[in-house]
Amino acid sequence: MAITQRSSWLTEDLDAFRELAHAFCQKELAPNQERWAAAKQIDRELWNKAGEVGLLCLSIPEEYGGGGGTFAHEAVLLEEQARAGDEAWGNAVHSGIVAHYVAGYGTEEQKRRWLPKLASGELVAAIAMTEPSTGSDLQNIKTRAIRDGDDYVINGAKTFITNGAQAGLVIVVAKTDPGEQAKGVSLIVVETEGAEGFRRGRVLDKVGMHGQDTSELFFDDVRVPVSNLLGGAEGLGFVQLMQQLPQERLLIGVTSVTAMEAAVEMTVRYTKERTAFGREIFGFQNTKFTLAECATEVAVSKAFLDQCIERHLRGELDVTGAAMVKWWTTDRLSRVADECLQLFGGYGYMSEYPISRVWTGARVGRIFGGTNEIMKEIISRTL
Ligand SMILES: Cc1cc2nc3c(=O)[nH]c(=O)nc-3n(C[C@H](O)[C@H](O)[C@H](O)COP(=O)(O)OP(=O)(O)OC[C@H]3O[C@@H](n4cnc5c(N)ncnc54)[C@H](O)[C@@H]3O)c2cc1C
């Protein structure tokens, strides 16, 4: 059963890479989901294992320890991760997001200092934007990084931070000029080991994605050298975020479409095995029509996603396009996951059935990476 066509951006090189990614995800991710969910985080060593086989920082230049690939490599790995039913490993944030802030805005010294450690798994990376009182309204963050001699002194609290429990490198979004709005925002790197005043809070209890260490982080007079500022000048943080968020949103799109396709496939299989009233569940017109609709939504979503990936590979995906693909794919995934779960009956509500994890995992897609309401706000500005 092929719901979608082969993505136009795939190549033979990427097919070969997929075999490696597939083998790793099936061996290292798939069997550990329940254990990681109970622990509320993955094994720390997974990062090192992934680094050893070259799966971290795939699209970072080789001279900094990365894979020298493109966004397409990140996308293939993410597809395989979603296919393996993984919802715990925060590599999209680590490799797909944080490493690109360092590569994009870091000085030569910063790149040489941090990127090889991110590529090997020696450091786990996180980005801390959201605060208890501010998420969508990023210009109004309260965290401060005030210059004192050759240091920044950071004070504030962050929440919902992916990789928060394991991160050794955190890009903190902070106000270097609290009197300003967007123009007062800077990105400052905190290396957490030995950082006095840095504290991790709880790993938060979530509705889904239980194996992911989404955490609170606290900064009380944390001192970092001014050389940890990304971008060479204060006040560039907001622009840097706006430039990088399209890639983050596209990554969310990749996961969403893959999860959607997997949901339809597992539901087709299940409804052909299960019987009621002396026939396959699949035989009822309602089941067939529902799955026909879902398959169509997958195909349409994937066609748009592929178009956006191609644009991104050419460096042409704009903020509006990324907002469109993010809201669309996460919204469709929520609907498809819900329809598919319904066709599993009571088993769909049991956490041991993968469809239930697709459903709970789907819900957050409409919230993180910028809520879907904010996506529509962004799109509407261009109309
Ligand atoms: C599992 C998970 C992982 C996350 N990982 C990270 C991470 O690694 N790093 C990080 O910094 N953050 C992370 N987040 C935070 C996430 O990005 C925020 O939750 C999100 O941006 C929304 O912010 P908020 O929760 O403060 O909601 P709010 O901003 O308070 O929004 C509440 C509601 O108001 C709506 N709203 C707000 N403003 C407008 C507007 N202008 N127009 C219309 N509606 C509006 C929103 O759409 C939403 O429906 C994560 C969140 C979760 C749940």
376, 321 Cβ separation under 8 angstroms: no
Number of neighbouring beta carbons within 10 Å of residue 204 = 16
Q: Which two tokens stand for residue 215?
A: 């955490």
Kindly report the length of the chain. 383
pLDDT at 4: 85
pLDDT of 320 > 80? The answer is yes
The C-alpha atoms of residue 126 and residue 214 are separated, in whole angstroms, by: 10
Q: Looking at residues 173-177, what average pLDDT do you find?
A: 98
The C-alpha atoms of residue 222 and residue 151 are separated, in whole angstroms, by: 9
pLDDT at 103: 98
Summary mean pLDDT of the chain: 97
Pocket test for ligand 1, best of 172, 368, 379, 381 (most atoms within 8 A of CB): 368
**248 carries an active-site annotation:** yes
**% of the chain surpassing 90 pLDDT:** 98
Nearest atom of ligand 1 to the alpha carbon of 370: 21
Number of neighbouring beta carbons within 10 Å of residue 237 = 30
- Report the predicted TM-score, pTM, of the whole model to 2 decimal places: 0.97
Q: Out of 248, 261, 297, 339, which one is annotated catalytic?
A: 248
71, 313 Cβ separation under 8 angstroms: yes
Closest CA to 257 of 310, 316, 302: 302
pLDDT band for 91, please (50, 70, 90 cuts): very high
pLDDT tens readout for residues 197-208 = 999 999 999 999
Nearest atom of ligand 1 to the alpha carbon of 134: 26
**Ligand 1: which residues within 6 Å by Cβ?**
93, 126-130, 135-136, 160-162, 206, 209, 214, 364, 367-368, 370-371, 373-374, 377
pLDDT of 2 > 80? The answer is no
87, 357 Cβ separation under 8 angstroms: yes
The C-alpha atoms of residue 356 and residue 342 are separated, in whole angstroms, by: 10
Closest CA to 59 of 108, 82, 92, 26: 92
pLDDT of 1 > 70? The answer is no
Cα torsion at 334, 339, 341, 342 (round to 10°)?
A: 140
Pocket test for ligand 1, best of 136, 158, 163, 206 (most atoms within 8 A of CB): 136
99, 123 Cβ separation under 8 angstroms: no
pLDDT tens readout for residues 251-291 = 999 999 999 999 999 999 999 999 999 999 999 999 999 99
Q: What is the residue with the minimal CA distance to atom 22 of ligand 1?
A: 135
Nearest atom of ligand 1 to the alpha carbon of 377: 42
Closest CA to 250 of 152, 321, 313, 322: 322
List the end-to-end C-alpha distance of the chain, in Å, as a whole number.
39
The C-alpha atoms of residue 303 and residue 7 are separated, in whole angstroms, by: 8
Nearest atom of ligand 1 to the alpha carbon of 137: 29
pLDDT at 329: 98
Distance 137 CA to ligand 1 centre (A): 9
pLDDT tens readout for residues 40-90 = 999 999 999 999 999 999 999 999 999 999 999 999 999 999 999 999 999
Output the DSSP codes for 81-129. HHHTT-----HIIIIIIIHHHHHHH--HHHHHHHHHHHHHTSS-EEEE-
pLDDT band for 23, please (50, 70, 90 cuts): very high
Q: Looking at residues 373-379, what average pLDDT do you find?
A: 98
The C-alpha atoms of residue 347 and residue 350 are separated, in whole angstroms, by: 5
The C-alpha atoms of residue 165 and residue 150 are separated, in whole angstroms, by: 28
Q: Looking at residues 328-355, what average pLDDT do you find?
A: 97
Q: Which two tokens stand for residue 314?
A: 């050419």
Q: Which amino acid is at 351?
A: S
Pocket test for ligand 1, best of 130, 134, 215, 248 (most atoms within 8 A of CB): 130
